[in-house]
């Protein structure tokens, strides 16, 4: 039973029009202050008309801090900036020279910075879309089939493999759409299933009027299909919830559900749960503190990652810039470098070349969509 492991980064999504990591960094630093405001449902929206400064202040602060961080570090990498927001910003005295003194003081700015992890995620959502401006792929009707032609062609080459394990480092949902490929034919798992007792999401129409109730997919952690998807950094549609023990008692956030549309309230066995509609979910980013808060997901996913590398007959790495040290360390420790491995990157960096050298890898310097006959 031949087994293949794939590790995919932003370059894997580039044929669909998604930005590479460098392009996403550029898009984020190109955002203009005064162009975005808080929406009533907790998101961030682009605006055309002039808005009161109170609607703009925290978003503009986030943009100011991005530029401050880029100047301070001499470069900008959005995942590192997210770590900075969670773990370092409060001990950085330089921030007191950044914020608008008419909107914040030395105390209130700290409260504002506490909300920036939500805002930054929403700014990434705005910048990280495919060439049609989409980022959700919930069903066949929501997909432009031309978007997936390069992926259909690529996976058709892999028909000799009984198991294909995709380990994604991306912040987009393109890999979710792979289940609709004709060559996969639904033989796909991302670890989420409907489960009992169920978590129910209410969708409201008007003030607290329930228009629809939907059952939410829960992370079960079963990966038993031919094509299995592991999101090593979480995903923008994952939310972490408490599992209630009784009406007034909760333990840690040990349930992960997928929410692919706006949900106004969530219940479990008739009990309504605390639910942060702003999106304090698995961020898709790499902060150690985020991973530590959700062991039910990350421990299992990384354990699967290691075991998949051990049992794989071949490793293919596509569009991953090798900037994440923890991922590199796992690859080097658990994949046997005497087995075949291939990097696919149109412009490989020194980091890619070095990791490839350590793995004795073949380096294919081509755009992913141009690669043919990778299985030889």
CA atoms within 13 A on the CB side of 71: 9
User: CA end-to-end span of the chain, whole Å?
Assistant: 17
pLDDT at 227: 97
Give the per-residue pLDDT at 247. 45
| The pLDDT of residue 189 | 96
In whole numbers, what is the pLDDT of the chain averaged over residues? Answer: 85
247 Cβ neighbours under 8 A, 6+ residues apart: 271
- Give the residue ranges of the chain where pLDDT is below 50: 246-251, 279-284
Question: Which domains, ranges and CATH numbers included, belong to the chain?
Answer: 3-18+135-191+221-237+283-370 (3.40.50), 21-127 (no CATH)
Query: Which strands form 249-258's sheet, in the order they lie side by side?
Result: 192-193, 217-219, 249-258, 238-246
Q: Which long-range contacts (CB under 8 A, 24 or more apart) does 352-355 make?
A: 352/320, 352/321, 352/322, 354/322, 355/322, 355/328, 355/331
User: 91 CB contacts (<8 Å, ≥6 apart)?
Assistant: none
Question: Which candidate, 78, 74, 84, places its Cα nearest to that of 113?
Answer: 84
Return left, alpha or beta for 133; rule: phi > 0 is left, psi -120 to 50 is alpha, else beta: left
Q: Across the beta sheet with 210-215, what order do the strands follow?
A: 210-215, 199-204, 265-268, 271-272
CA dist 5 and 158 (Å) reads: 11
Cis ω for the linkage preceding 197 (within 30 of 0): yes
How confident is the model over 281-323, as pLDDT tens digits? Answer: 444 455 555 566 677 788 899 999 999 999 999 999 999 999 8
Q: Are 315 and 341 in contact (CB under 8 A)?
A: yes
> How far apart (Å, rounded) are the C-alpha atoms in residues 359 and 356?
5
Q: How far is CA 313 from the centre of its chain?
A: 27
The model carries a pTM of: 0.86
| pLDDT at 307 (0 to 100) | 98
Token pair, residue 113, equals: 């910075």
Predicted confidence at residue 208, as pLDDT, reads 72
């Amino acid at each position: 039973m031949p087994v293949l492991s794939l590790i995919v980064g932003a370059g894997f999504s580039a044929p669909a029009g998604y930005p590479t990591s460098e392009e996403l960094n550029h898009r984020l630093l190109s955002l203009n202050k005064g162009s975005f405001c808080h929406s009533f449902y907790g998101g961030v929206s682009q605006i055309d008309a002039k808005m009161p400064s109170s609607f703009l202040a925290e978003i503009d602060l986030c943009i100011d801090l991005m530029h401050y961080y880029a100047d301070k570090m001499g470069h900008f990498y959005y995942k590192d900036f997210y770590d900075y927001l969670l773990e370092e910003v409060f001990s950085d005295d330089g921030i007191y020279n950044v914020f608008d003194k008419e909107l914040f003081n030395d105390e209130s700015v700290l409260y504002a910075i506490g909300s920036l992890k939500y805002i930054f995620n929403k700014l990434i959502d705005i910048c990280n879309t495919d060439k049609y401006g989409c980022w959700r792929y919930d069903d066949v009707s929501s997909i432009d089939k031309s978007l997936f032609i390069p992926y259909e062609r690529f996976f058709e080459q892999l028909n000799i493999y009984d198991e294909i394990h995709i380990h994604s480092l991306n912040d987009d949902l393109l890999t979710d759409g792979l289940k609709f490929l004709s060559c996969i034919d639904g033989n796909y798992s991302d670890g989420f299933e409907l489960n009992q007792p169920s978590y129910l999401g209410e969708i409201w129409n008007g003030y607290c009027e329930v228009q629809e109730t939907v059952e939410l997919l829960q992370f079960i952690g079963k990966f038993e299909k031919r094509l299995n998807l592991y999101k090593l950094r979480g995903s923008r549609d994952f939310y972490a919830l408490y599992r209630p023990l009784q009406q007034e008692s909760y333990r840690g956030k040990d349930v992960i559900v997928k929410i692919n549309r706006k949900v106004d309230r969530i219940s479990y066995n008739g009990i309504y749960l605390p639910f942060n509609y702003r999106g304090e979910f698995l961020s898709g980013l790499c902060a150690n503190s985020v991973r530590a808060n959700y062991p039910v997901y990350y421990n299992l996913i990384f354990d699967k990652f290691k075991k998949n590398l051990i049992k794989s007959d071949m490793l293919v790495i596509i569009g991953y810039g090798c900037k994440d040290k923890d991922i590199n360390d796992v690859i080097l420790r658990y994949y046997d470098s005497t087995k075949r491995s291939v990097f696919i990157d149109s412009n490989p960096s020194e980091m890619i070349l070095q990791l490839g050298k350590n793995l004795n890898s073949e380096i294919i310097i081509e755009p992913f969509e141009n690669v043919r006959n990778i299985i030889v």
